[in-house]
Amino acid sequence: MAFKVVVSDSKTGKSYQFETESNALIGKKIGDEISGSIVELEGYKLKITGGSDRCGFAMRHDIHGAMKMRVLLKEGPGYNVKEKGLRRRKSLRGNTISKDITLINTKVVEYGSAPLGGEPESTE
């Protein structure tokens, strides 16, 4: 099973996508820090911020476990509010990465020595 890992760089505002076959991500939760060597980014530390499964259902930090659930939402990840006070029941995934998850969103917490996108760093 392949995971697509999207790495966001807050310094430049760019995102980079990598693929990995590593099973080291299974069992990790939203908010956990992982080594960048999983996606060939030596020296980097990444924080898991979310993801989605193969059907496109988003992961949510306050649903514990790896199962899919129908949750009544009024805000936040997985639901865009159109009117004030409006609530809706949506299907979402839990906060734990399982074999059903295909996309994992991360952000850089600690930078390594090599540039992130394979581009040379500017000296300005």
The pLDDT tens digits along the chain (124 residues) read 789 999 999 889 999 999 999 889 999 999 999 999 999 899 999 999 999 999 999 999 999 999 999 999 999 888 899 899 999 999 999 999 999 999 999 999 999 888 887 655 544 4
pTM, entire model: 0.86
Tokens read off for 15: 């995102």
Q: In angstroms, how far is the first alpha carbon of the chain from the final one? A: 41
Q: Does residue 3 contact residue 98 with C-beta atoms inside 8 Å?
A: no
- The beta strand positions in the chain, using DSSP E, are 3-9, 14-20, 33-35, 45-53, 68-73, 88-93, 101-110
